[in-house]
Amino acid sequence: MTETSAPSVAAEDTEHVDFDVEGMTCAACATRVERALNNVPGVIEARVNLALERADVVFERELSALEHLTAAVDRAGYRVRPAAEASVRQAQDQARLDSERRTLVVSATLTAPLLIGMGLNTLGYEDLHVMPVGEVLLATPIQFLIGLRFYRGAFNALRAGAANMDVLVALGTTAAYCYSWYLLRTLGEEADGRLYFEASAVIITLVLLGKHMENRAKRSAAAALQALLALRPDTGCVLRADGTEIEVPAEQLREGDLVLVRPGGRVPVDGEVVEGASEVDESLVSGESAPVPKQAGDAVTGGSVNGFGLLKVRATTVGEASTLARIARLVADAQAGKASVQRLVDRVSAVFVPSVLAFAALTFVAWLVVSGNFEQALIAAVAVLVIACPCALGLATPTAILTGTGAAAQAGILIRDIEVLEQAHRIDAIVFDKTGTLTEGRPRVLAVHGARGADPEATLRWAAAVQQGSEHPLAKAILAHAAERNLALEPVRSFQAVPGRGAEGSVAGRHVAVGNGGFIGERAQVDADIQALAQQREAAGETVVFVAADDALLGVITLADPPRSNAAQAVQMLQALHVSPTLLSGDAPGVAERIGRELGLPTARGGMSPEAKARAVQELAAAGHVVGMVGDGVNDAPALAAADVGIAMGSGTDIAMATAGVTLMRPDPRLVAAAVAASRATFRKIRQNLFWAFIYNVVCIPLAAIGYLSPTLAAAAMALSSVSVVCNSLLLRGWRPNLAAQNA
């Protein structure tokens, strides 16, 4: 398949475009456009999303060009439109919905007398219904003016050598219409009461109604993402060097610009506060609506809403690289992809329409042979054609994914792509890293003990000096503690961090090492009294950092990193989902066990190096589990990569940079459980939708074939099946993570 050729092409030689495709009416169309694009030489991968009406193509720059893609779509019978800006697209969609509604009203108005006439006829009031000439006058504009789109769609499809739902509708209604004409011409007034004009009119009106409701629903499904993009302010107020203020369009803002954010205004860029203090609402990027205090030095994110203070912000990231643009891109990419179920559905629907045509022909012949009644044979065949439209099938998966990922994003859960979504709903084991995920990740120094009567302050000074080279949270805590004491620190040279174990370097001519018991034990003799002290503190859940200089133990520093307030609840939530949580930590076994007990974790293992964590994840996978790994990304990369789904817990602006499968926009471990729940809810919807789409066809096609379903009823059933599928997906919009405390 095309995917396998992808890695052989270097990223810089490829180009990525997305554009809107007009004229697709069902899954068969989307499959055809996709195939047409994939057949263009140089195309590496093309994906077409029916719900978004969008194509997403990666191609080799040397071998192909946009013109070739456009031409291929054209030949397949559809049109390319450049992917519109969110706001433009919104306006276009609205205009299209309005015109659809007008057409629908006209169509329904013309159909109503026909339908009422038919109703009265069956009730016995035969004199009151519309005269045959009247029927012709009402049905003809519906058939050929309003129904023109079906002929056009069918023509395009047939020209490209394929069949789609337009072919079914056009063929079915034309057959009913022409047969009625034939009766009218041969029987004259005698034909009264035997005509099928109302059937074709009703079919067209109902298919239009179904399409219209579907389009409205599709639009609200995509609305979450559009809302996100719409929140980017259009302009920013730049403070010039001479002190004047000037309002410039957001896309003209540059890195380094000083931007003024007034109370109540939206922050137009990612940046750093240089002056002023305020509280901002970052719910857009974090899903958390509690205002966050900001003052000079703090980072702010574009799109967040300023509170009551005036902020002067220096722009750090602008345009496509900004957090908001990345989040929007991430969500859009996720939604543009295709689930493997969808690929299956596409293959099915590609052969579905031709099969239906064949089956309708068979129905017609069988009736003719068995009953010899041309009229019955024709009507049964028409009913088969109409009921079998696979539109519901085409919408089942993409609408659910659209609403599911949208709702998750609003809750602060970003799912990278559909493969991740597919894996995530099967997760039954979650591995947590301790520091920063289950704990606050902001440890505090509790005490410093000198070994063999050494001065605790000297121990702290040596330790802090080495830690100047480290990014580790423990290093920051030790440095902060030293700073509080106003200790002057020697610089550190040839610094070396040993992930998951410690760090070392040379300070004032001595070789100084800090780290866990194992790390220091290899370098210095640890006395029994210090050993006992360490064990006792670790059993109490405290982290003990050992300090040694030139093979001699200087002492230990004990630190506390309290569990996050909702960590225990996160564990309960996972267990309620039948996902078994595990804690793997590089900290001492005693600490891991203590935290594990405190949070109710069934398994907690300490003393694990980053490699050991990765191996443990692989073992879980080998035992048949689908494993999610949650880390803060500092030194968990191997384990994150080994897991089926890597879950990065972000905070602030780094969230959008994460390449993990799932990115949580705020550091709340409960969102881990929520992410699993969201993907499960989405897949449940997909399954329900596919069931409903299939069951209509499976039950109704035979009914139509044996003549139990009139063409009119078939049209109603078909419209209903699309609408029910889309509405079922829309129910997902109301999905919210259940973060309320569950008291057992």
List contacts with ligand ADP (CB under 6 A).
433-435, 467, 470, 472, 474-475, 500-503, 514-516, 543, 545, 585-587, 635
List contacts with Mg ion (CB under 5 A).
433, 435, 634
Nearer to ligand ADP, 307 or 589 (CB): 589
For residue 454, what are the CA distances in angstroms to 444, 451, 479, 525, 554? 22, 5, 20, 15, 7
Residue 47 three-state SS:
strand
Distant-in-sequence, close-in-space partners of 140: CB < 8 Å, separation ≥ 6: none
Q: Are strands 235-239 and 299-300 parallel, antiparallel or unpaired?
A: unpaired
**Which among Mg ion, ligand ADP, none contacts residue 51 (Cβ within 5 to 8 A by kind)?**
none
Taking the C-alpha atoms of residue 35 and residue 58, their distance in angstroms, rounded to an integer, is 14
Going by the DSSP 8-state scheme, the letter that residue 525 receives in this structure is: P
Measured from each CB, the residue nearest to ligand ADP is: 586
**Which among Mg ion, ligand ADP, none contacts residue 585 (Cβ within 5 to 8 A by kind)?**
ligand ADP
> Hey, what amino acid is at 502?
G
**Which among Mg ion, ligand ADP, none contacts residue 474 (Cβ within 5 to 8 A by kind)?**
ligand ADP
Beta strands in 528-644 (DSSP E): 543-549, 552-560, 580-584, 603-605, 627-631
Nearer to Mg ion, 435 or 569 (CB): 435
Taking the C-alpha atoms of residue 492 and residue 505, their distance in angstroms, rounded to an integer, is 6
In angstroms, what is the minimal distance from the CB of 165 to ligand ADP?
A: 54
**Which among ligand ADP, Mg ion, none contacts residue 533 (Cβ within 5 to 8 A by kind)?**
none
**Which among Mg ion, ligand ADP, none contacts residue 149 (Cβ within 5 to 8 A by kind)?**
none
In angstroms, what is the minimal distance from the CB of 561 to ligand ADP?
A: 8
**Which among Mg ion, ligand ADP, none contacts residue 543 (Cβ within 5 to 8 A by kind)?**
ligand ADP
Nearer to Mg ion, 34 or 433 (CB): 433
**18 labelled catalytic:** no
In angstroms, what is the minimal distance from the CB of 631 to ligand ADP?
A: 8
Nearer to ligand ADP, 266 or 537 (CB): 537
Rg over alpha carbons for the chain, rounded to the nearest Å, is: 33
**Which among Mg ion, ligand ADP, none contacts residue 470 (Cβ within 5 to 8 A by kind)?**
ligand ADP
Q: Are 640 and 432 in contact (CB under 8 A)?
A: no
Q: Are 273 and 313 in contact (CB under 8 A)?
A: yes
Nearer to Mg ion, 530 or 595 (CB): 595
For residue 479, what are the CA distances in angstroms to 158, 447, 469, 539, 544? 73, 14, 10, 25, 15
Measured from each CB, the residue nearest to Mg ion is: 435
Active-site residue, from 56, 166, 433, 668? 433
In angstroms, what is the minimal distance from the CB of 586 to Mg ion?
A: 7
CB atoms within 10 A of CB 729: 28
Residue 312 three-state SS:
strand
CA 657 to chain centre: 16
In angstroms, what is the minimal distance from the CB of 571 to ligand ADP?
A: 16
Taking the C-alpha atoms of residue 80 and residue 196, their distance in angstroms, rounded to an integer, is 38
In angstroms, what is the minimal distance from the CB of 287 to ligand ADP?
A: 24
Q: Are 500 and 585 in contact (CB under 8 A)?
A: no
Nearer to ligand ADP, 450 or 515 (CB): 515
In angstroms, what is the minimal distance from the CB of 661 to ligand ADP?
A: 20
Nearer to ligand ADP, 545 or 714 (CB): 545
Going by the DSSP 8-state scheme, the letter that residue 434 receives in this structure is: I
Query: Which residue numbers are catalytic?
Result: 433
